[in-house]
């Protein structure tokens, strides 16, 4: 007897993406299953929730990698360098997800929040606030309002990415200067946005630890 071809995860995601773009997050998983040629139960054997299926189909990670990395950075390394790296990774995350969000919402379609019940940017602000509080407690930052600083960093980066997406004339200039070279710290070379360097430079003047 001929073997029935196995439907791959990629085929399921392609079917889900097509349906979600047409109908938004409210689309039926039964319809997605029919489009993919499998049972609805088969979808949930591979994707635990409809939200997980949606984000995977749209190429949107539910939790940015930088959030996982940030938890291990408090009190370690060069703080200014860490802030530059985190801002750069936030920028790359929103460069990836913002076009998808704009595409879905431009068609009047609903979608789940990236951060669960709370909007992803506000979750990012809370995560960064906690990190800054940790650094203040270790005297690696001048006493300040960490939530305001987090809002400035996250909001500025997201706003720049949004402007970049809204206008083909806007582009973020980059420099071949490595973070390690810029900060004289010898970390692996990586391209850094001039905008992010300037943003952190300006902010650093008000939050850098006082020198005794």
> Mind listing the pLDDT tens digit of every residue in the chain (212 residues)?
444 457 888 899 999 888 888 887 888 899 999 988 898 999 988 888 888 888 888 877 767 888 888 878 888 999 999 999 999 999 988 888 887 777 766 665 566 665 556 778 888 999 999 999 999 999 999 999 999 999 999 999 999 988 887 775 444 555 544 555 555 444 444 555 788 999 999 999 999 988 75
Question: Both 47 and 71 in a single domain?
Answer: no
In a domain, 129, yes or no: yes
Structure tokens at 53: 């299926």
Contact assessment for residue 164 and residue 170, using Cβ atoms and an 8 Å cutoff: yes
Distance of CA 28 to the CA centre of its chain: 27
In a domain, 212, yes or no: no
Q: Same domain for 199 and 135? A: yes
Per-residue confidence (pLDDT) for residue 54, from 0 to 100: 86
Residues 104 and 174 in one domain: yes
| pLDDT of the residue at 179 | 53
CATH number assigned to the domain comprising residue 16? 1.10.10.60
Q: What total number of domains does the chain contain?
A: 2
The predicted structure's pLDDT at residue 170: 47
In-domain check, residue 13: yes
The verdict on 81 and 172 lying in the same domain is: yes
Q: How many CB atoms lie within 10 A of CB 110?
A: 11
On whether residue 22 sits in a domain, the answer given is yes
Say what the pLDDT of residue 75 is.
87
Q: Are 173 and 193 contacting, i.e. CB atoms less than 8 angstroms apart?
A: yes
Tokens of 191: 């391209």
Residues paired with 174 in a beta bridge: 193
Integer Cα distance of 41 and 25 in angstroms: 18
- 43 and 74 in a single domain? The answer is no
Claim to verify: residue 135 and residue 174 sit in the same structural domain: yes
Same domain as 109, residue 35: no
pLDDT of residue 86: 92
Provide DSSP, 119-172. -HHHHHHHHHHHHHHHHHHTTSS-S--HHHHHHHHHHHHHHHHHHHHH-TT---
- For 30, the domain range is 9-57
pLDDT of residue 207: 93
Does a structural domain hold residue 4? no
Is 83 in the same domain as 122? yes
Contacts of 156 (CB under 8 A, 6+ apart): 199
Residue 3 domain-assigned (yes or no): no
Same domain membership, residue 80 and residue 124: yes
Asked if residue 173 lies in contact with residue 194, where contact means CB atoms within 8 angstroms, the answer is yes
pTM score of the predicted model: 0.71
Based on the fold, state whether residues 163 and 70 are members of the same structural domain.
yes
In a domain, 2, yes or no: no
Does residue 81 lie in a domain region?
yes
pLDDT for 4 equals 46
Residues 109 and 84 in one domain: yes
Residues 203 and 105 in one domain: yes
5 Cβ contact partners less than 8 Å away, ≥ 6 residues apart: none
Total residue count of the chain as it appears in this document:
212
């Amino acid at each position: 007897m001929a073997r029935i071809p196995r439907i791959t995860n990629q085929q399921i995601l392609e079917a889900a993406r097509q349906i979600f773009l047409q109908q938004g997050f409210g689309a039926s998983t039964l319809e997605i299953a029919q489009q993919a040629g499998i049972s609805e139960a088969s979808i949930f054997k591979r994707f635990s929730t409809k939200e997980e299926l949606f984000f995977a189909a749209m190429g949107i990670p539910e939790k940015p990698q930088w959030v996982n990395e940030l938890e291990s950075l408090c009190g370690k390394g060069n703080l200014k360098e860490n802030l530059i790296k985190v801002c750069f990774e936030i920028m790359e995350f929103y460069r990836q997800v913002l076009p998808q969000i704009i595409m879905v919402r431009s068609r009047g379609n609903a979608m789940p929040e990236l951060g669960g019940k709370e909007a992803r940017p506000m979750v990012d602000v809370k995560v960064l606030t906690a990190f800054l509080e940790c650094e203040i407690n270790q005297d690696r930052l001048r006493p300040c309002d960490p939530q305001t600083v987090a809002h400035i960093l996250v909001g500025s980066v997201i706003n720049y990415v949004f402007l970049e997406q809204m206008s083909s004339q806007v582009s973020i200039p980059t420099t071949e200067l490595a973070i390690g070279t810029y900060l004289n710290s010898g970390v692996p070379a990586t391209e850094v946005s001039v905008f992010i360097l300037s943003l952190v430079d300006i902010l650093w003047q008000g939050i850098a630890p006082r020198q005794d």
